[in-house]
Amino acid sequence: MKSILLPAYAKVNLCLDILGRRSDGYHELRTIFQTISLHDTLALEVSQNFPIDLRIIGNSALAGEPGRDNLVYRALDELRRELRFKQGLRAVLTKRIPVGRGLGGGSSDAAAALIALLRLTGKRIEAARLAGIASQLGADVPFFLRGGRALGVGRGDEIYPLPDVSRDSVLVVSPSDIAVPTRDAYQWLARRLTKSPDPTKLGRFCALCWSPQGGALSNDFEAAVFTRYSRLAAIKRELLRQGAAGASLAGSGSAVFGIFRNPAKARRAARAFPKDQVFVCSTLSRAEYRRKMGGPDFA
């Protein structure tokens, strides 16, 4: 039977500004996404079972999750209906990206499922419609249709590709005993939000967007999350002490990442965190992401 195997890459937020709550209850934000080489793997094939048989391995917490509530299941089910694909599907998701650490694993898995089904069936779909399906699944999912480096506005689901910068090594440190639910992080942050504009902050954001060398990392969640988990603040300080050019909380946390100019420095720095789960990886350009994901002109 026809099958396909795809990676589902993680992301970090190089910059994450939370501007306030919107009328629809979501938060207005602006962020710069960057894909990194850490990834899950999704295998998808046509099956006699109907409609979708999903298996998750590599994460005991997710292995027992009801299939219909999983983002991969939902992505396959929604696109399958859109394409009017009548056959069954078998999917095996192998998890490596830590769950609930701000690295976008679930959103990336969902986007990989959308791309994999398009490749498997050879069908096409308008880019705007595909982006709409992705946005319904989650705010970060549209970004993973293209990857690389991109500006996200609105809920983070309105995506504008940015020029790629030089390839860097990334050390991700994921404490095994700390998880930060996104809902909690937003609640903690709400007390700190201000309506006063900050032109200096906007200038730094623009510099990070358009400078070929990138710019200083920043994340509005840090003040709220670090207050509750001083260990995460200590990890950031240690990454900088180990020679990182910059370090930041990944998304809403609880992973913290450092940017290093070469992999040898990143590997040496990883030894400073013997009690934590660490991943030495690299940034992925949009062209690299496209080559890895392949498939039709889906976006």
Give the phi and the psi of residue 192 in degrees, each rounded to 5.
-105, -10
Q: How far apart are CA 141 and CA 134, in angstroms?
A: 5
- Burial of 238 per CB tally in 10 Å (0-12, 13-18, 19+): middle
Residues marked active site are found at: 11, 140
62 sits in which H/E element: helix 60-63
Residue 106 belongs to what H/E stretch?
Answer: helix 105-121
Residue 47 DSSP symbol:
E
Torsion of CA 162, 218, 183, 68, to 10 degrees: 30
How far is it, in rounded angstroms, from Cα 108 to Cα 229? 26
Q: Are 55 and 44 in contact (CB under 8 A)?
A: no
Instruction: Indicate the SS3 state at residue 95.
Output: coil
Question: What amino acid is encoded at 160 in this protein?
Answer: Y
Spatial distance between the Cα atoms of 39 and 182, rounded to a whole number of angstroms: 21
Task: Give the CA distances from residue 247 to residues 163, 196, 233, 240, in Å, rounded to whole numbers and listed in that order.
Answer: 21, 26, 10, 7
Q: Are 33 and 11 in contact (CB under 8 A)?
A: yes
Eight-class DSSP state of 159: E
Helices within 218-261 (DSSP H only): 221-228, 230-241
